[in-house]
């Protein structure tokens, strides 16, 4: 089985490890490094068999090294990796904004790097991951990464220049859905419903709507129109959404997230 070492086991790292375990990956073939001792122990307890290791061990034993630290923390990780990696290694970066060329400039000549933008629904095997090979990554490297990620959700390959947009759409996207759900549950409270009931009503509506979309029932516009009866209730709500510029707010929000991804990449240009 492919041995995977995660460098930085925070939120997205844990989502990947947990998703791979659920997908049948042996815990002994999942290694991780972690800056904080407490966090390392927490994960070892939560996922018996999985072990925190040193970066040297990770580089020696793993077929794939997955970098999952914050983009701001990348420099020390690269410095540690420089003496440990060569062209037979495979580096996968999950870091928002960081281009493959950043790794290629720092690491030894020929180290293959694949940039990936996943999202947290990986925890439940429903990730959307977009992958882009760097200069030294071959079709075989891409195939390894695709296979790995296919155990935790869907995978698409995109040109690297689209990764900042992808980050804003599917990387951050779950947060925007959670935000909408949170606001809609609050609306239930405003209307006097108990929180648990409001939560059940909205979450199941979200699951049902997502399933209709995922199963390709129809275009989202037609699905919305089917809910919107003439002189009915829904159109009154839609008028308010339009009045408050919700569509424009979403366009601006996603554009701002894209811009931040570009900026994170630029912060590491020397």
Ligand X SMILES: NC(=O)C1=CN([C@@H]2O[C@H](COP(=O)(O)OP(=O)(O)OC[C@H]3O[C@@H](n4cnc5c(N)ncnc54)[C@H](O)[C@@H]3O)[C@@H](O)[C@H]2O)C=CC1
Ligand Y SMILES: O=C(O)[C@@H]1CCC=N1
With binding defined as CB under 6 A, does residue 118 bind ligand X?
A: yes
Phi then psi for residue 140, to 5 deg, are: -65, -40
With binding defined as CB under 6 A, does residue 153 bind ligand X?
A: no
250-254: long-range contacts at Cβ-Cβ below 8 A with a sequence spacing of 24 or more? 250/176, 253/176, 254/168, 254/169, 254/172, 254/176
- Report 150-169 residues binding ligand Y (CB under 6 A): 167
With binding defined as CB under 6 A, does residue 107 bind ligand X?
A: no
- Report 202-231 residues binding ligand Y (CB under 6 A): none
C-beta of residue 178 within 8 angstroms of C-beta of residue 199? no
Binding site for NADP(+), by residue number, is 68-71
With binding defined as CB under 6 A, does residue 172 bind ligand Y?
A: yes
With binding defined as CB under 6 A, does residue 173 bind ligand X?
A: no
- Secondary structure of 204-235 as H, E, C letters: HHHHHHHHHHHCCCCCHHHHHHHHCCCCCCHH
- Mask: binding to ligand X, 50-79, rule CB under 6 A, as x and -? ------------------xxxx-x--xx--
C-beta of residue 160 within 8 angstroms of C-beta of residue 115? yes
Q: Identify the three-state secondary structure at position 229.
A: coil
Q: Which is nearer to ligand Y, 27 or 174 (CB)?
A: 174
With binding defined as CB under 6 A, does residue 121 bind ligand Y?
A: no
Task: Report the DSSP pairing between strands 4-7 and 64-67.
Answer: parallel
Q: Which is nearer to ligand Y, 15 or 85 (CB)?
A: 15
Q: Which is nearer to ligand Y, 124 or 197 (CB)?
A: 124
Q: Which is nearer to ligand X, 34 or 104 (CB)?
A: 34
Bridge-partner residues for 116, per DSSP? 131
Measured from the CB of residue 197, what is the shortest distance to ligand Y in angstroms?
31
Comparing CA positions, the residue from 71, 127, 121, 66 lying closest to residue 95 is 71
Measured from the CB of residue 167, what is the shortest distance to ligand Y in angstroms?
5
With binding defined as CB under 6 A, does residue 96 bind ligand Y?
A: yes
What is the contact surface with ligand X in residues (CB under 6 A)? 7-13, 33-36, 39, 68-71, 73, 76-77, 94-96, 117-120, 171
């Amino acid at each position: 089985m492919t041995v995977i070492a995660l460098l930085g086991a925070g939120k997205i790292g844990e989502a990947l490890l947990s998703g791979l375990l659920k997908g049948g990956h042996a815990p002994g073939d999942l290694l991780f490094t972690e800056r904080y001792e407490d966090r390392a122990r927490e994960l070892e307890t939560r996922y018996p068999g999985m072990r925190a290791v040193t970066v040297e061990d990770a580089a020696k034993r793993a077929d794939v090294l997955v970098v999952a630290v914050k983009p701001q923390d990348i420099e020390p990780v690269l410095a540690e990796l420089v003496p440990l990696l060569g062209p037979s290694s495979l580096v996968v970066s999950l870091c928002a904004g960081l281009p493959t060329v950043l790794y290629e400039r720092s690491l030894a000549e020929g180290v293959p790097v694949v940039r990936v933008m996943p999202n947290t629904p990986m925890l439940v095997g429903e990730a959307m991951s977009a992958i882009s090979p760097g200069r030294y990554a071959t079709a075989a490297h891409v195939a390894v990464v695709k296979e790995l990620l296919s155990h935790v959700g869907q995978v698409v390959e995109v040109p690297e220049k689209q990764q900042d947009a992808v980050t804003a759409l599917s990387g951050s996207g779950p947060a925007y859905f959670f935000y909408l759900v949170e606001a809609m549950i609050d609306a239930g409270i405003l209307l006097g419903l108990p929180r648990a009931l409001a939560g059940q009503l909205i979450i199941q509506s979200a699951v049902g709507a997502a399933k209709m979309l995922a199963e390709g029932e129809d275009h989202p516009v037609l699905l919305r129109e089917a809910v919107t009866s003439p002189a009915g209730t829904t159109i009154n709500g839609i008028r308010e959404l339009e009045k408050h510029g919700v569509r424009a707010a979403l366009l601006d929000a996603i554009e701002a997230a894209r811009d931040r991804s570009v900026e994170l990449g630029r912060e590491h240009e020397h």
